[in-house]
């Protein structure tokens, strides 16, 4: 399929359909969130506005606070009895939550925007869809695509993250669905897939700003992203469904992701959209910006 791509620019896509997750308040570099029945206070550099001291404002209602360390990293302070891990649901999906180093919980709730998009595209395709998920982390997108009926290849350089994905898949009772897990360097994996002649109907990637592969390979998004996306076009099927890039790299514009897709997907007719993903803040008109995306999709 050769032709022009239509362009759609979006300002903000909010993840509004959560019931087990809630962004309660944000102020002075911190966000207060409800994960299931537990309330966590974590840092977030996007929050530069002042809405009061959240620790004092919600005293007695916070279960855990993540404190940054002056030397880098940080630690969790549990104020109440928290389990070491628990589950939350999004629609009919279930995810495993844990307190991790560097403030994370193993899930980015704003990604529900992309899960909705992928699941709708896969279900509406009404044909077998093979998905490749690169830099796949704990597998939120992998679970969503499996649930929608696709087969999935899940690739991440961290063995711990791949094991976490397996837990998420099992909790959703999807372990009998076609999913393949690989602990591998993404670039090297894609190069091998080109040589093998394997192809995919949809590709998802959430590349870090910087990182190291399974064998200490160095990744730099500014230097390596366009090369990787270009390689990925060589493993797209003759009738691809979508290509989605998500990013949390500070200073990288959503328009940059559009430009990468426009350059690399020029031989495919479809639509390119780009924009931000964010979370609505409770009892306000504010939205917390959380990341950017660029996605190509077929007219199917």
DSSP designation for 1 = -
Could you tell me if 122 and 252 lie in one domain? yes
Q: What is the pLDDT of residues 191-223, one digit of tens each?
A: 999 999 999 999 999 999 998 776 777 889 999
Could you tell me if 191 and 131 lie in one domain? yes
Could you tell me if 119 and 32 lie in one domain? no
**Per-residue CA distances from 172 to 127, 132, 146, 264, 274 (Å):** 22, 19, 10, 35, 30
Which structural domain, as residue segments, surrounds residue 46? 21-98
Which CATH number characterizes residue 267's domain? 3.40.50.150
8 A C-beta contact, residue 141 and residue 111:
yes
- Write down the mean pLDDT value for the chain: 94
In angstroms, rounded to a whole number, what is the distance separating the alpha carbons of residues 78 and 99? 10
In angstroms, rounded to a whole number, what is the distance separating the alpha carbons of residues 60 and 47? 23
Domain end, chosen from 35, 70, 98, is at 98
Could you tell me if 112 and 89 lie in one domain? no
Could you tell me if 159 and 11 lie in one domain? yes
Average pLDDT, stretch 135-156? 98
Domain end, chosen from 67, 98, 129, is at 98
Domain assignment present for residue 103? The answer is no
Domain end, chosen from 63, 98, 133, is at 98
| CA angle, residues 151, 164, 155, in degrees to nearest 5 | 45
Domain assignment present for residue 68? The answer is yes
Q: Look at the chain and report how many structural domains it folds into.
A: 2
Residue 3: CB atoms within 10 Å: 11
Could you tell me if 33 and 79 lie in one domain? yes
Residue among 2, 142, 247, 136 nearest 258 (CA): 247
Q: What is the pLDDT of residues 264-278, one digit of tens each?
A: 999 999 999 999 999
Q: What is the pLDDT of residues 108-126, one digit of tens each?
A: 999 999 999 999 999 999 9
Percentage of residues of the chain with pLDDT beyond 90: 89
Q: What is the pLDDT of residues 67-88, one digit of tens each?
A: 998 877 899 999 999 999 999 9
* Residue 247, phi then psi, degrees to nearest 5: -150, 145
pLDDT band of residue 11 (cuts 50, 70, 90) is confident
Could you tell me if 11 and 25 lie in one domain? no
- Flag whether the pTM goes above 0.75: yes
Domain assignment present for residue 142? The answer is yes
User: Does position 146 have pLDDT exceeding 80, yes or no?
Assistant: yes
Could you tell me if 244 and 285 lie in one domain? yes
User: Does position 245 have pLDDT exceeding 80, yes or no?
Assistant: yes
For residue 8, the model assigns a pLDDT of: 65
For residue 4, the model assigns a pLDDT of: 62
Could you tell me if 28 and 156 lie in one domain? no
For residue 1, the model assigns a pLDDT of: 46
């Amino acid at each position: 399929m050769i032709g022009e791509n239509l362009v759609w620019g979006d300002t903000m896509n909010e993840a509004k359909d959560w019931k087990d997750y809630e962004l309660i308040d944000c102020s002075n570099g911190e966000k207060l969130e409800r994960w299931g029945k537990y309330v966590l206070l974590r840092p977030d550099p996007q929050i530069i506005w002042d809405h009061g001291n959240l620790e004092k404002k919600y005293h007695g209602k916070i279960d855990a606070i993540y404190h940054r360390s002056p030397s880098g990293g940080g630690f969790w302070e549990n104020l109440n009895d928290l389990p070491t891990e628990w589950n939350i649901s999004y629609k009919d999906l279930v995810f495993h939550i844990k307190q991790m180093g560097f403030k994370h919980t193993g899930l980015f709730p704003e990604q529900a925007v992309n899960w909705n998009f992928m699941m709708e595209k896969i279900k509406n395709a009404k044909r077998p869809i093979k998905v490749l998920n690169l830099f796949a982390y704990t597998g939120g997108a992998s679970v969503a695509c499996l649930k929608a009926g696709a087969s999935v290849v899940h690739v991440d350089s961290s063995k711990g993250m791949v094991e976490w994905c397996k837990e998420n898949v099992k909790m959703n009772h999807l372990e009998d669905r076609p999913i393949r897990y690989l602990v591998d360097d993404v670039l090297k994996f894609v190069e091998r897939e080109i040589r093998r002649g394997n192809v995919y109907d949809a590709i998802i990637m959430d590349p870090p700003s910087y990182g190291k592969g399974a064998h200490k390979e160095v990744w730099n998004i500014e230097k390596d992203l366009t090369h990787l996306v270009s390689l990925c076009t060589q493993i797209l099927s003759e009738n691809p469904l979508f290509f989605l890039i998500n990013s949390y790299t500070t200073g990288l514009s959503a328009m940059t992701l559009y430009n990468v897709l426009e350059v690399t997907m020029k031989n495919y007719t479809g639509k390119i959209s780009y924009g931000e993903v964010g979370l609505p803040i409770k009892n306000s008109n504010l939205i917390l910006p959380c990341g950017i995306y660029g996605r190509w999709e077929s007219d199917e």
